[in-house]
Amino acid sequence: MTATLYCFGESGNAYKAALTMQLAGYDWTPRFVDFFNGETRSPEFRALNPMGEVPVLAEGDLVLTQSGVIQQHIAARTGKLAGAENPEVLRWLLWDNHKLSSQAGMTRFLANFVPEDKRPAAVISFMQGRLKAAYATLNAHLEGREWIVGDAPSIADTACCGYLYYPEPFGFNREDWPHLDTWLTRLSALPGWKHPYDLMPGSPADRL
């Protein structure tokens, strides 16, 4: 049975789920969600996910929301990536959700997708300072390691990378963080890896 992932290319959280399925060789297909024209606020989408967010995984009668839950489902079903049954993987999933992806997603949105005359410069600067501390934490952890946990990729890797491949400027420069840069390069060399704009439908270019 082919799973459907409700997603759009600009969503780093959707990318976590899509990339996990891609690297695990899962049978899935994307379904574009028109976030920028309000689809996630529509009654039809809220019936699917009352939280009004992507990603959503629909697989037969099963509907899952939240990227970490979907990642864990894929890891458990395939055994291809270590999952949250490993406490260290779970620790990094929670850290990413609190310290990295949530802040990177907000900062990237404010710095790129809000009309330029309405972008809150002070908020963006503050968030970039917080993100710098998160980058430093992960960069230091990756020194001498190939992967975030253990000696093989896990859903900790596909979670923490969620926003770090995007081209829009939001204060993350790979060259400033050599261990992050090496890790991202290693991850992108895995069979099946694709850039978010190649893996999911929707990109800023579509709205020009």
Taking the CB of residue 52, how many other CB atoms lie within 10 A of it?
14
Judge whether 17 and 208 are in contact, CB under 8 Å: no
Residues 97, 184 share a domain: yes
Q: Do 75 and 126 belong to one domain?
A: no
CATH number of the domain within which 140 lies? 1.20.1050.10
Range of the domain at 141: 87-188
C-alpha to C-alpha distance for 32 and 48, rounded to whole angstroms = 14
Report pLDDT digits (tens) over 57-110: 999 999 999 999 999 999 999 999 999 999 999 999 999 999 999 999 999 999
Give yes or no: residues 144 and 203 share one domain: no
Half-sphere exposure of 75 (CA within 13 A, CB side): 25
Q: Are 150 and 130 in contact (CB under 8 A)?
A: no
Q: Looking at the structure, do residues 184 and 198 belong to the same domain, yes or no?
A: no
**Looking at the structure, do residues 94 and 169 belong to the same domain, yes or no?**
yes
Assessment of whether the complete model's pTM goes beyond 0.95: yes
Concatenate the DSSP letters of all residues of 129-196 into one string.
Answer: HHHHHHHHHHHHHHTT-SSSSTTS-BHHHHHHTTTTT--S-SS--GGG-HHHHHHHHHHHTSTT---H
pLDDT tens-digit map of 116-159 = 999 999 999 999 999 999 999 999 999 999 999 999 999 999 99
DSSP 100: I
Same domain, 77 and 96: no
